Amino acid sequence: MPELPEVEAIRRTLSPEVVGAPIRGVRILRRDVVRDRRGRRRGRLDPVHAGAGLRIERVDRRGKQLILGFEGGSGLIVRLGMSGRVDLWKGRVRRTPPHRHLVWVLGSDERSERRLGFVDPRRFGGIHLYESPADLDERLLGNLGPEATSIDPGVLESRLGRTTRAVKVALLDQSVVAGLGNIYVDEALHRALINPTQPADRIDSNGIEMLARSIRSILQEAIDAGGSTLRDHRLPSGQEGRYRDAHQVYGRATEPCPRCGTSLTEIRLSARSTTFCPSCQAL
DNA sequence: CCGGACTCCTGTGCGC
DNA sequence: TGCGCACAGGAGTCCG
């Protein structure tokens, strides 16, 4: 379940490997992973629109979206969804794993050839094509809130102050803050000692300050660890992320709180499993 | 504005 | 040992 740290760790390892590389061709193994502008599986795809003949100019990220920018300003967004990943390898020998849907063949000749794959067993992820930076901003990124990695307390306060929803639900909303998912919201709320069911607009300034700092520090630590591998997440090399061992609450329901020893509690909020410490994070 | 149910998907891990 | 089923959830839609 790639959230911001997983996508950022992927971006950091991918960028130096592929920026500048020409795309010799694109193998389309499953075209319904391409989404149209409404997110439906109806996107049209041919190698040219997927970048064939162009050079990869940049690898960016906004929230949980990985962005491959081509020379000339077009590009594509890779949304990893629940189980998506990209892999990068040299040569042709690798056996095609199940659920690899797209392959970009990179390099100017046989000798420099590398292949970049998009793998997504559950297919909650997908690819969005864009024509220009303006198209990218307006059509695909327009509704995203500020980056969670650098969230400012004042900005967070004004964003959370607009809603009475439970703070956890609000933080999962990508238009409020971009990049958080179930794991890191639970971890950040625990570090900030805030109850996940607390109405978002009723957190005091001190709590907001702690929350902003917790979000930033946890994301930074997780990025440095390569993200959290629960099952599917891998860096392009196949390497696992190591942040799972640092989780204090996510996936640890019934275990003692690492901070105070009280048994952690699991509830459901917005149909998502939510683990917190009833003592440290009391209402 | 809000919450909740539903949809899309497959691998996994449990109970029987 | 093996089968069937609940569960995991990001993001969108729809309905009350």
HSE, CB side, 13 Å, CA atoms: give it for residue A145: 22
Instruction: Report, as an integer, the average pLDDT of A224-249.
Output: 87
Q: Which of residues 259-278 of A touch strand C (CB under 7 A)?
A: 271-273
Nearest to A69 by CA among A108, A116, A3, A20: A20
Asked if strand B contacts A99 at the CB level, meaning under 7 A, the answer is yes
Mind giving me the DSSP string for A187-246?
HHHHHTT--TTSBGGG--HHHHHHHHHHHHHHHHHHHHTT-B-SSS---TTSPPPBGGGG
So what's the pLDDT on residue A93? 65
So what's the pLDDT on residue A139? 72
Asked if strand C contacts A252 at the CB level, meaning under 7 A, the answer is no
In angstroms, the CA A151 to CA A210 distance is 12
In angstroms, the CA A75 to CA A87 distance is 18
Per-residue pLDDT band at A209 (split at 50, 70, 90): very high
Catalytic residue list of A: 2-3, 64, 272
Q: Residues with Cβ < 8 Å from A84, sequence gap 6 or more?
A: A2, A78, A118, A119, A120, A124, A125, A232
So what's the pLDDT on residue A36? 76
Of A244 and A224, more confident: A224
Backbone angles phi, psi at A189, to 5 degrees: -65, -35
Q: What is the pTM of this model?
A: 0.94
Note the CA–C1' distance, A101 to B10, in angstroms: 15
Residue matched to tokens 């990179």: A106
Closest nucleotide to A199: CA versus each C1': B2
Per-residue pLDDT band at A64 (split at 50, 70, 90): very high
Note the CA–C1' distance, A155 to B12, in angstroms: 40
So what's the pLDDT on residue A14? 95
Closest residue by C-alpha to C1' distance, nucleotide C10: A81
So what's the pLDDT on residue A49? 80
Note the CA–C1' distance, A20 to B10, in angstroms: 35
Instruction: Report, as an integer, the average pLDDT of A69-86.
Output: 92
Closest residue by C-alpha to C1' distance, nucleotide B2: A165
Mean pLDDT of chain A: 90
- Cα A153–Cα A157–Cα A161 angle in degrees, nearest 5: 175
What percentage of chain A reaches a pLDDT higher than 90? 61
CB-based burial label for A245 (10 Å; 0-12, 13-18, 19+)? exposed
Note the CA–C1' distance, A182 to C10, in angstroms: 10
Tokens of A113: 């050839």
So what's the pLDDT on residue A7? 93
Tokens of A98: 């199940």
| The pLDDT of residue A1 is above 70 | no
Note the CA–C1' distance, A66 to C2, in angstroms: 41
In angstroms, the CA A242 to CA A240 distance is 6
What type of residue is A168? Answer: K
Q: What is the pLDDT of residues A150-165, one digit of tens each?
A: 999 999 999 999 888 9
Q: What is the pLDDT of residues A248-275, one digit of tens each?
A: 999 888 889 999 999 998 888 888 889 9
Asked if strand C contacts A83 at the CB level, meaning under 7 A, the answer is yes
Closest nucleotide to A163: CA versus each C1': B1
In angstroms, the CA A227 to CA A90 distance is 24
Q: What is the pLDDT of residues A106-122, one digit of tens each?
A: 998 888 899 999 999 88
So what's the pLDDT on residue A239? 87
Q: Residues with Cβ < 8 Å from A48, sequence gap 6 or more?
A: none
Nucleotides of B under 7 A from a protein CB: 1-6, 8-13
Note the CA–C1' distance, A250 to B6, in angstroms: 26
So what's the pLDDT on residue A106? 95
Closest nucleotide to A182: CA versus each C1': C9
Q: What is the pLDDT of residues A147-204, one digit of tens each?
A: 999 999 999 999 999 888 999 999 999 999 999 999 999 999 999 999 999 999 999 9
Beta bridge partners of A166: A199
Tokens of A63: 């929230």
Residue matched to tokens 């000692």: A193
In angstroms, the CA A171 to CA A197 distance is 11
Asked if strand B contacts A268 at the CB level, meaning under 7 A, the answer is no
Per-residue pLDDT band at A94 (split at 50, 70, 90): low
| The pLDDT of residue A56 is above 80 | yes
What percentage of chain A reaches a pLDDT higher than 70? 98
So what's the pLDDT on residue A74? 93
